[in-house]
Amino acid sequence: MVAGQSMTNASPEPVPAMTPDRMLDALLSSPFDPVLLLDSAGNLEAYNRAAEAELGLSSAAGWPATELEGLKPVLALLRDAGEQAAATSVWQADSGRAFLVQNNRTPHGGLLISMRDITDWRQLNAAQGDIMHVVSHDLRTPLTVAKGITEMLVENYFGELTADQQTAVEKLALSIYGMVGLVDNLQNAGRFDPKTGFYKLDPAAVDVGEVARKIVETQQLPAEIQDLELTLTVDQALPIVMADRVMLESALGNLVDNAIKYSSPNTAIAVSVHSEGRSVLFSVRDQGPGIALEDQERIFQRSVRVESPGNKRVRGSGLGLYIVQSVAQRHGGEAWVESTPGDGSTFYMRIPVRAAQASR
């Protein structure tokens, strides 16, 4: 049977066409979220009950919107958001509720203001953020201890190991590195996010060569365990960059970590930091499986993972490159990849020298 076809022979009732007026009536009689319509002269043409209650409007139709006390904070917010055709801002009402305010030009030059109540969503989001923070924070301490002891075992600090023991502790070390990376990324993916992140940039004069040296040094052991050669080249005269060191370390750490995860044994990974005009350019080149052209943009999105025959066994969260891009964007820079499948990948992150001053 064709979807929607009636089982009986009775002819279906004709559905009256929805005219723009009927649609507007339906919208304005909606009991849920506040909706307001301003005409092209800026007078309040219509509003629904939710707007009446939340903004304290009473018999306000026909009044200039700028003269209505309850509407003033919303209009001020939209003004601050700019003159875009469709601007979106969050308004914290005196009632304690939070609204996502959206402003759309109508075909007749008026303005349709819709306000979505996001109070519950925000509370839920904050609670989840708190839980995530506690979990990741409490996991970090025991993991750091386990990592330290395992590294001492791998490096035969407690005495020479048999070949089997060496293989076992190296596997253990790799699992622990994976867990440490995951915990860090879970924490950073939320707070570094340029749209919703609550992490306040802490700009300071950063020696970016030093940042790269630190990351390459800490990744040397995991690289060695997987028989990879990890090298670093740093321009001699690198400028000092105004940036957030913690963020840069997290981004570069993820790029090197990925290069290690996705490379096959006995290949090389080259990290470099160059000066390029008013920016510094970090790059991480590997000889791994490479990335198909159609995936090269989307792998920077949150939680996007791409499994290819070459990397099926690599576990991950899909947060690493999202963090790299968030860090670049919050510094006014950019991140991208150049890659040919079967011929390795080079990931880039460009950071302006006076980056962090322009960001929040």
Nearer to ligand ADP, 97 or 302 (CB): 302
Contact 319, 308 (CB under 8 A): no
Closest approach, Cβ 148 to ligand ADP, in A, equals: 24
Closest approach, Cβ 193 to ligand ADP, in A, equals: 14
Nearer to ligand ADP, 40 or 340 (CB): 340
Contact 113, 38 (CB under 8 A): yes
Closest approach, Cβ 47 to ligand ADP, in A, equals: 45
Nearer to ligand ADP, 73 or 194 (CB): 194
Residues 133 and 136: their CA atoms lie apart, in Å, by 5
Interface positions with ligand ADP (CB under 6 A): 254, 258-259, 262, 286, 288-289, 291, 299, 304-306, 311, 316-322, 345
How many Å separate Cα 19 from the centre of its chain? 41
Nearer to ligand ADP, 113 or 299 (CB): 299
Closest approach, Cβ 46 to ligand ADP, in A, equals: 47
C-alpha gyration radius of the chain: 28
For residue 312, give both structure tokens: 């099926």
Residue with CB nearest ligand ADP? 316
- Specify the DSSP element, H or E, that contains 92: strand 86-92
- Could you count the other beta carbons within 10 Å of the beta carbon of residue 146? 16
Which residue do the tokens 């950073």 mark?
188
Nearer to ligand ADP, 48 or 345 (CB): 345
Nearer to ligand ADP, 66 or 231 (CB): 231
Residues facing residue 350 across a β-bridge = 281, 334
Q: Where are the alpha helices (DSSP H) in 239-317?
A: 245-262
Residues facing residue 348 across a β-bridge = 283, 336
How, if at all, do strands 268-276 and 229-234 pair?
Answer: parallel
Contact 48, 32 (CB under 8 A): no
Nearer to ligand ADP, 311 or 359 (CB): 311
Residues 82 and 315: their CA atoms lie apart, in Å, by 43
Closest approach, Cβ 299 to ligand ADP, in A, equals: 4
- Could you count the other beta carbons within 10 Å of the beta carbon of residue 76? 12
In the chain, the amino acid numbered 347 is F
Closest approach, Cβ 275 to ligand ADP, in A, equals: 24
Nearer to ligand ADP, 187 or 254 (CB): 254
Residues facing residue 26 across a β-bridge = none
Residues 152 and 161: their CA atoms lie apart, in Å, by 12
Closest approach, Cβ 320 to ligand ADP, in A, equals: 3
Closest approach, Cβ 199 to ligand ADP, in A, equals: 18
